[in-house]
C-alpha cells in the first residue's frame, strides 16, 4: 500500500472510493467541529474528492495531500479551476485561491507545511492502509500537527476475515487505541451501508459499517 500502489490505481482508473458528490456525512457532521470561517483544514490522502470544493466554498483554507499527480490534475480539471504549480518542500504544490494540494508522500510531511491547520477532515485514509501502517500514519499526524487540532474521521468496519483490503476494516476499538491518548473520541454515527454497496456484498461481506468520529484534543 505504498505510493507506487496508489499511483498505479489512479493510472488504471481503479478508484471506486471516489464519490461523485460531496460526502453527506461531511455536510451533516461539520457543525460538530465549531470551526471559525478563517480556519485551515487539512485533508490527508485527499484523492480528487469533491469534499475539498465544499470545504473551500465555506471560505476555509484547504490543504490536501495526495501522492497521485493524475488525481490532483483531475481535481482541478474536473472542477474547472486554474492553478499555479510550484515546488514546495518535498512536494509539488498546486494552488488555486484557498485550495492547496500537495502532491507527494504523506509520510514526507513536515510541520512547517501544515502548521496553520486547526482541523482535519479525514475520509478513508485509515482504510487505505494495513494495520501497521495505520499506526505510523497516526504517529506522523501527531508529530506534524498542532496539539489543538480537531478531527472529523470517516472509516469503514466489516469482518476482515471475509475480504482483503483495501479498503481495510478499522474497528471502533482500534480508533480508540490510535487516538485516545491525545483526543476525546466520540462516535457520531455508524450506519450499515452494505445494501448500497453491491460490489462489497458480492465479495461476501455480511455488514459494512461506515462510521464518523469526532476527535477533540484532551
Ligand X SMILES: C[S@@+](CC[C@H](N)C(=O)[O-])C[C@H]1O[C@@H](n2cnc3c(N)ncnc32)[C@H](O)[C@@H]1O
Task: Figure out which of the listed residues 25, 39, 42, 47 binds ligand X, where binding follows CB under 6 A.
Answer: 47
The answer to whether 6 contacts ligand X (rule: CB under 6 A) is: yes
Interacting span for ligand X (CB under 6 A) from 52-60, 76-84, 123-131, 192-200:
123-131
Task: Figure out which of the listed residues 106, 183, 200, 213 binds ligand X, where binding follows CB under 6 A.
Answer: 106
Q: Which residues contact 90 (CB under 8 A, 6 or more apart)?
A: 104, 105, 108, 109, 110
Task: Figure out which of the listed residues 29, 65, 151, 212 binds ligand X, where binding follows CB under 6 A.
Answer: 65
Interacting span for ligand X (CB under 6 A) from 65-73, 74-82, 91-99, 177-185:
65-73
Q: 100, 55 in Cβ contact below 8 A?
A: no
- Judge residue 99's burial from the number of C-beta atoms within 10 Å of its C-beta, 0-12 exposed, 13-18 middle, 19 or more buried: buried
Interacting span for ligand X (CB under 6 A) from 25-33, 84-92, 120-128, 177-185:
120-128
The answer to whether 83 contacts ligand X (rule: CB under 6 A) is: no
Which of 111, 146, 109 lies closest to 125 in space, CA to CA?
109
The answer to whether 197 contacts ligand X (rule: CB under 6 A) is: no
Q: Give one DSSP letter per residue of 107-133, joined into a string.
A: GG--GGGGTT--EEEEESSGGGS-HHH
Amino acid at each position: 500500500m505504498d505510493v507506487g500502489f496508489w499511483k498505479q490505481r489512479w493510472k488504471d482508473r481503479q478508484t471506486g472510493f471516489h464519490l461523485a458528490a460531496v460526502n453527506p456525512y461531511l455536510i451533516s457532521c461539520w457543525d460538530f467541529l465549531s470551526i471559525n470561517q478563517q480556519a485551515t483544514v487539512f485533508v490527508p490522502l485527499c484523492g480528487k474528492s469533491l469534499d475539498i470544493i465544499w470545504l473551500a466554498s465555506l471560505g476555509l483554507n484547504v490543504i490536501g495531500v495526495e501522492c497521485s499527480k493524475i488525481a490532483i490534475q483531475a481535481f482541478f480539471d474536473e472542477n474547472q479551476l486554474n492553478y499555479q504549480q510550484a515546488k514546495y518542500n518535498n512536494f509539488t504544490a498546486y494552488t488555486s485561491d484557498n485550495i492547496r494540494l500537495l502532491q507527494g508522500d504523506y509520510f514526507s510531511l513536515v510541520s512547517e507545511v501544515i502548521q496553520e491547520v486547526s482541523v482535519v477532515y479525514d475520509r478513508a485514509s485509515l482504510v487505505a492502509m494495513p494495520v501497521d501502517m495505520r499506526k505510523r500514519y497516526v504517529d506522523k499526524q501527531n508529530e506534524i500537527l498542532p496539539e489543538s487540532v480537531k478531527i472529523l474521521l470517516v472509516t469503514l468496519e466489516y469482518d476482515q476475515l471475509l475480504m482483503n483490503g483495501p479498503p481495510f476494516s478499522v474497528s471502533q476499538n482500534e480508533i480508540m487505541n490510535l487516538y485516545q491518548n491525545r483526543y476525546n473520541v466520540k462516535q457520531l454515527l455508524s450506519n450499515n451501508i452494505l445494501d448500497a454497496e453491491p460490489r462489497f456484498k458480492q465479495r461476501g461481506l455480511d455488514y459494512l459499517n461506515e462510521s464518523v468520529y469526532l476527535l477533540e484534543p484532551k
